[in-house]
Each structure stands twice: as C-alpha cells, then as structure tokens.
Amino acid sequence: MLIIHVGQFEAFLFDLDGVITRTASVHSRAWKQLFDEFLAKKAAQTGTSFVSFDLETDYRRHVDGKPRVAGVLSFLAARGIKVPTGQPGDPAEQQTVHGLAKRKDHYFLELLAREGVQVFDPAVALLRNARGRGVRTAIASSSRPHSSMHASMASISTI
C-alpha cells in the first residue's frame, strides 16, 4: 500500500475522469454505443459482417485518453473506414467525424443523467485530507468543458 504524507507537499493536482470520478467506464460504454450503432448500420448498408467495438482492445488502443474527434478518427482509420470530417458545429445525427464525436458526447451525458457520477472514495479522502491541512488542491480534466464536467464537479462540490 502506498502511503502519501500529505504535509510534505505544497499542492496536489488531481485529474477528474478516472481519478476522482469513476467515469472511465461511462466513457467506454458511450464509445461502444456510438461505434456499434455506426458499424451495424454500415454493415447493413454494405452487406459486410458486423464486428463490434471491443471495450478492451478498441477502447484502449484507439480512444482512451484522446479528444473525441481524435478518437473517432483513430478508430475509424483502424477499421479502414472514411467519413467526412465535417465541422465542429455538425449536429450529432450527421455522419461526419464531428457529428459522431458529438453523438458520443450525447450518449455519455445520457448515461451520466441515468446513473449519476460515482467517485473513488480513497481519492476523495486524500483530497479532503490535503485541504484540511491547508495544502492547495486543484482538479483538472482534459475533457472539453461542458455539462458533463459540471455534473461531475457538482457531485464532488462538497469535498
């Protein structure tokens, strides 16, 4: 077991997704929903076999830790699929990279709304301990600031 002597630090910086909040599995399920729908539709249109998005291999290799657009591009390239890039303002229904990325965001938000945000209790305890001792703390995220981040932050605002 790792022992952290909080008083030996001037500050702590915590990542939100996967460190403070248990949202990594929510992200992976949103990606799976997006790509399985997309791949099933493509298979039906082209008469090819449907090969689903694998939560372990595909998620970790192609989308985990990447911005949404980069994740869409990486996964589709791995499958040899090309779709138009589109524009950041594309609606979620549009079959463009930006549209698919936006649809993933919608699925993520739906899952959060349905299931709520869970936290990692040991990380929260460390954060509270540090704040209680006057150590500066911050929580950061590589996710684009939007309502999912606000939902996550609201769930831990009492920390």
What mean pLDDT comes out for the span 96-108?
97
Check if the beta carbon of residue 151 is closer than 8 Å to that of residue 23: no
14 bridge partner residues: 139
140 bridge partner residues: 15
* Residue 7 pLDDT: 81
pLDDT surpasses 60 at 147: no
User: Catalytic residues, which ones?
Assistant: 15, 17
The token duo for 17 is: 């997704």
Give the residue, 122 or 6, on which the prediction is more confident: 122
Give, for 13, the enclosing helix (H) or strand (E).
strand 11-15
- Sorted by where each begins, the domain ranges of the chain are 1-23+118-159, 24-116
3-state secondary structure of 97: helix
pLDDT band at 41 (very low <50, low <70, confident <90, very high): very high
* Residue 5 pLDDT: 83
What are the CA-CA distances from residue 127 to residues 28, 35, 120 (Å)? Answer: 26, 36, 11
Q: Of 88, 117, 121, which is closest to residue 26 (Cα–Cα)?
A: 117
* Residue 157 pLDDT: 56
Its pTM stands at 0.80
pLDDT band at 158 (very low <50, low <70, confident <90, very high): low
